């Protein structure tokens, strides 16, 4: 797991619940560097379930598991799907002192997310079903069969947002080629949109593992699977790779056991140690005096809340109120009410910005975006847009009346329940 030759961080490729991914130019070519970071919502969930933020940020064994899982799955996925799906190979992992978090370097994939179903993308309407039915659903089945239970979360079981974990690498041939780029979860696998998946899969598995699943692998089942399919696997990936896979599985088991068996209190102590908030000696001492550790934690949280609520929040609010350009605001509001041209302009700009956003995200190809821009300019749409502008304009007042004025009249007793 040696770090790659140092390189320059060039461009942010994307960010999700678990990490920020940068495109880095190294001597051996372009790589995608994922640096794990504590997203606020994910943080709260992690603290609740595990007592510390996302383990990939701070836990050496967790990041090692991420590395070996990608290695193992790279081979298994080839066995299952041939050239139709690949996994971005893990190149190295390293502690990033600047971000105070672990990072994982993977291959960079030149591709795009699949087109969502929308009226413009008729020609590309096959992409989504090709990914969901052709790849994600069968992948979930294979993962469960091989004991890679926790991985189905990233493969999209009950979670449509996992579509973003796959890129379409080539759409030139008849057969689309997909790449699974994200195998590391941001939150434990307990929040699927599909409630049936929660009750039929995630909750029973939580009981099996006796903890909220977070990329968990049933190593015993995985080993059995690899032995059962030895002949087919050797025929597919060769006997040398097969031996390598066995080695990776052993290392995954070792690191996962170490990571998952850590006491709750030690997780939060180790996190603070990694952040530099305490030193080794303090970490050892608090590990033996966990009540004092929790007291310290609660005191810190209490101080933070007081600081945020009583000092920072009022300062920010006052700052915001003072800095509102009132004259400009009322002038624009006046123009919005009186001038039809101004209203059309606002709405046109808004729609144009949205078209650009979709174009940048490659959900619209250039021709589709151009045709939308043209119809935006056309006379007919302006009439509609004006009405839409007025609709937007009065919406604010209607909502104020609905949610503030009417309830207020009711509370001071000027209207009764019937009128309310
Ligand atoms: N190997 C890669 N090659 C190209 N783009 C990538 C790669 N890995 C991630 N990305 C981009 O970064 C985004 C976020 O990465 P992801 O690993 O899904 O983060 P998270 O785990 O926080 O959801 C992806 O949606 C994708 O656009
Ligand atoms: Mg993701």
Structural domain spans, the chain? 8-286, 289-322, 326-411
Q: Residue 19 CA: which ligand 1 atom is closest?
A: 22
Reported as a pLDDT band with limits 50, 70 and 90, residue 16 is: confident
pLDDT for 176 equals 86
pLDDT tens per residue across span 192-241: 999 999 999 999 999 999 999 999 999 999 999 999 999 999 999 999 99
pLDDT for 15 equals 87
Reported as a pLDDT band with limits 50, 70 and 90, residue 418 is: confident
Q: Which phi and psi (to 5°) does residue 19 adopt?
A: -160, 170
pLDDT for 1 equals 43
Q: Radius of gyration over alpha carbons of the chain, in Å? A: 27
What is the best residue among 182, 186, 362 to mutate for testing ligand 1's pocket, by most ligand atoms within 8 Å of CB?
182
Tell me: pLDDT of 103 over 80.
Answer: yes
pLDDT for 171 equals 61
pLDDT for 385 equals 67
pLDDT for 397 equals 83
- Rounded to the nearest integer, the mean pLDDT of the chain is 90
Q: Residue 39 CA: which ligand 1 atom is closest?
A: 22
Segment of 23-32, 160-169, 242-251 carrying the highest mean pLDDT: 242-251
pLDDT for 120 equals 76
Q: Residue 31 CA: which ligand 1 atom is closest?
A: 1
What DSSP letter does each residue of 160-217 carry, written as one string? GGGGGGEEEEE-SSSS-EEEE---S-SS-TT--S-HHHIIIIIHHHHHHHTS--SS--
The total number of residues written for the chain in this structure = 420
Tell me: pLDDT of 279 over 70.
Answer: yes
pLDDT for 333 equals 86
Tell me: pLDDT of 4 over 60.
Answer: no
Tell me: pLDDT of 182 over 70.
Answer: yes
Residue with CA closest to ligand 1 atom 21? 18
Tell me: pLDDT of 49 over 70.
Answer: yes
Reported as a pLDDT band with limits 50, 70 and 90, residue 391 is: confident
pLDDT for 125 equals 81
Higher local confidence (pLDDT), 126 or 262 = 262
Across residues 330-350, what is the average pLDDT?
Answer: 85
pLDDT for 175 equals 79
Tell me: pLDDT of 5 over 50.
Answer: no
- pTM for this model (two decimals): 0.82
Q: Residue 186 CA: which ligand 1 atom is closest?
A: 21
Out of 123-132, 148-157, 206-215, 326-335, least confident range:
123-132
For residue 187, which of 44, 84, 303 has the smallest C-alpha distance? Answer: 44
Contact residues of ligand 1, CB 6 A cut-off: 13-19, 21, 32, 34, 88, 106-109, 164-165, 181-182, 184, 186
**Alpha-carbon gap, residue 242 to 208, rounded angstroms:** 29
pLDDT tens per residue across span 310-327: 999 999 999 999 998 999
Cα of 165 from ligand 1 centre, angstroms: 7
CB 157 within 8 Å of CB 197: yes
In the structure, ligand 2 is a single-atom ion and the residues with CB under 5 Å from it are: 16, 165, 182
pLDDT for 399 equals 87
Percent of the chain with pLDDT over 70: 94
For residue 268, which of 309, 305, 300, 306 has the smallest C-alpha distance? Answer: 300
Tell me: pLDDT of 151 over 90.
Answer: yes
């Amino acid at each position: 797991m040696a770090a790659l030759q140092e390189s320059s961080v060039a461009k942010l490729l994307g960010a999700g619940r678990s990490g920020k991914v940068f495109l880095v130019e190294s001597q051996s070519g372009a790589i995608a560097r994922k640096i794990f970071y504590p997203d606020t919502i994910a943080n709260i969930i992690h603290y609740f379930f595990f007592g510390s933020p996302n383990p990939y940020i701070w836990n050496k064994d967790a990041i090692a598991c991420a590395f070996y899982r990608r290695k193992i799955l790279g081979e298994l996925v080839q066995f299952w799907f041939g050239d139709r799906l690949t996994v971005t190979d893990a190149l190295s992992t390293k502690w990033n002192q600047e971000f105070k978090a672990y990072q994982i370097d993977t291959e960079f994939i030149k591709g795009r997310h699949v087109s969502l179903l929308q009226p413009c993308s008729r020609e590309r309407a096959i992409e989504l079903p090709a990914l969901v039915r052709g790849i994600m659903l069968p992948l979930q089945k294979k993962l469960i069969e091989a004991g890679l239970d926790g991985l189905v979360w990233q493969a999209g079981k009950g979670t449509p947002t996992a579509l973003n974990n796959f890129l379409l690498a080539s759409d030139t041939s008849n057969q689309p080629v997909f790449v699974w780029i994200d195998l590391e979860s941001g939150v434990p696998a307990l929040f699927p949109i599909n409630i049936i998946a929660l009750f039929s899969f995630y909750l029973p598995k939580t009981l099996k593992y006796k903890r909220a699943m977070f990329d968990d692998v049933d190593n015993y089942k995985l080993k059995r699977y690899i032995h059962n399919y030895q002949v087919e696997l050797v025929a597919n990936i060769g006997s040398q790779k097969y031996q390598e896979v066995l080695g990776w599985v052993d290392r995954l088991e070792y690191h996962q056991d170490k990571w998952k068996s850590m006491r709750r209190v030690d997780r939060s102590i180790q996190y603070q140690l990694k952040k530099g908030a305490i030193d080794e000696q303090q970490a050892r001492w608090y590990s033996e005096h966990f009540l004092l550790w929790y007291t310290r934690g609660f005191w810190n949280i209490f101080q933070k809340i007081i600081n945020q609520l009583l000092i920072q929040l009022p300062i920010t609010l006052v700052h915001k109120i003072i800095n509102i350009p009132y004259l400009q605001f009322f002038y624009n509001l006046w123009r919005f009410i009186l001038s039809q041209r101004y209203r059309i302009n606002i709405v046109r700009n808004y729609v144009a910005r949205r078209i650009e956003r979709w174009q940048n995200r490659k959900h619209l190809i250039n021709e589709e975006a151009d045709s939308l821009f043209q119809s935006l300019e056309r006379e007919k749409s302006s009439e509609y847009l004006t009405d839409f502008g007025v609709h937007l304009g009065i919406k604010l007042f209607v909502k104020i009346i609905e949610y503030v004025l009417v309830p207020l009249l009711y509370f001071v007793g000027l209207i009764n329940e019937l009128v309310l």
